[in-house]
Amino acid sequence: MRRVAITGIGVVAPNGIGRQAFWNNCVSGVSGIGPIRSFDATKHPIRIAGEIHDFDPAPLLPADVRKHAKLMARAARFGLGAAALAVNDSGLDFTREDPERLGVAMGTGVVPVDLSELAPMLARACHDDGFDATRLPNPDGNGMFPLWLLKHLPNMTAAHISLAFNCQGPNTTLVTACVAGTQAVGEGFRMIARDEADVVLAGGADSRIDPLMLLAYTALGTLSKSDRPAAESSRPFDRLRDGFVISEGAAVLVLEELERAKARGAEIFAEVTGFGSSFDAYSVTKPDPDGRGGARAIKLALNEAGVNADDIGYINAHGTSTRLNDQMETAAVKRVFGDHARRVKLSSIKSMIGHSIGAAGAIEAAALALSLKHHVLPPTINLTHPDPACDLDYVPNSAQDGRPRVGLSTSFGFGGQNGALVMQAA
């Protein structure tokens, strides 16, 4: 099986755009969570989120692609921007690559319909005589914008990335809730390992900060309703946590066959060595409290990587800041790692950026690779009242120096999805 290196990282996150800004702020414990600005949330039960402000991917894109950016859904713009940042970071000239050996694997959630866009359209189309689609506005004024449906299909982020960089090899979209980004990186890793591609743009992009989606998550009882300052509301593993903070963003990794990366003198951030996926079959909303499904995914990733649990020095945890998920993740780690669970370091960057659902695993995979590269473990901020049920070392509040040789990233999602990635220092 061919080995797979990470040679480029592009991140669009609430606490930083671009690899360096994102990483500096993660290490410094800088939160990107604040009051919602994308709509008037003053009367909404949820008024905070991890939003991306003032991001335009167009300047990052090839000239012939820029004009299409304004027609994309918000998540697709984030994903395409992250891909462009990653490609630039890698030093690869995609115009010189064999397009049939370039793949794309992206994760996302359900792409929400922009109600501010849809409501006026429907109001115009509905009249006394019924529904008339020709009344739906488009830029030409002649009925519904013909690409409106395509704008909201989940696979459009991967499609736009492939079009922008002429990737004609394998292309896949994972829509597996909070595990989608992790699974996309895992599938991209396997595309190269199986010799289906030489380079894969893999990651996740998501955006669902709108009134309806926030009400839906509120009805599930998953979002924080904290009256604390916004930056203190995401509190993974803390006894005072009351739910996650919704966020948005994207991350894309350039995955490349290791020997070709070495041959061209590429900077290698880390090597992806294992991926595991499993399903709880327990509940559509609650994780298995004993962590059995999560533990299976971790064991599968360790087995594929050919390492033992004791080899893992750091875990970039899923750490959502919900009571059940944080306790389950702690149980899963104990189930796999045994006594070593007390020695391994874990941390959750969701304390700083919130939960970006389909993008979360990809952003966290980027953070794991950067931890291995720079020998720094980002903190779990806001961990001031430890939960007795979450009794491991979560790198509380301040970054720590560390030189783990092998690291793990975990993701656990609605429905019972589980995913894990193993990486090794370059």
Catalytic pick among 26, 160, 167, 318: 318
Residue 95 β-bridge partners: none
End-to-end CA separation in angstroms for the chain: 18
Contact 258, 4 (CB under 8 A): yes
Which one-letter amino acid corresponds to residue 219? A
**Which two structure tokens, joined as six digits, stand for 111?**
């792409």
Question: Cα angle at 47 between 42 and 52, to 5 degrees?
Answer: 115
Taking every pair of C-alpha atoms in the chain, what is the biggest distance, in angstroms? Answer: 71
The residue count of the chain comes to 426
Residue 68, burial from CB neighbour count under 10 angstroms (0-12, 13-18, 19+): middle
Instruction: Note if 178 is an active site residue.
Output: yes
Per the rule left: phi > 0, alpha: psi between -120 and 50, beta: everything else, 167 is beta
Of 355, 374, 375, 385, which one is the catalytic site residue? 355
In terms of Cα–Cα distance, which of 316, 323, 349, 330 is closest to 222?
323
- CB-based contacts of 148, cutoff 8 Å, min separation 6: 138
Find the catalytic residue in 68, 178, 340, 375: 178
| Catalytic residue flag (residue 355) | yes
Q: Are strands 199-206 and 102-107 parallel, antiparallel or unpaired?
A: parallel
- Strand 345-347 to strand 312-316: parallel, antiparallel, or no bridges (unpaired)? parallel
Q: Which amino acid is at 155?
A: N
Annotated catalytic residues are 178, 318, 355
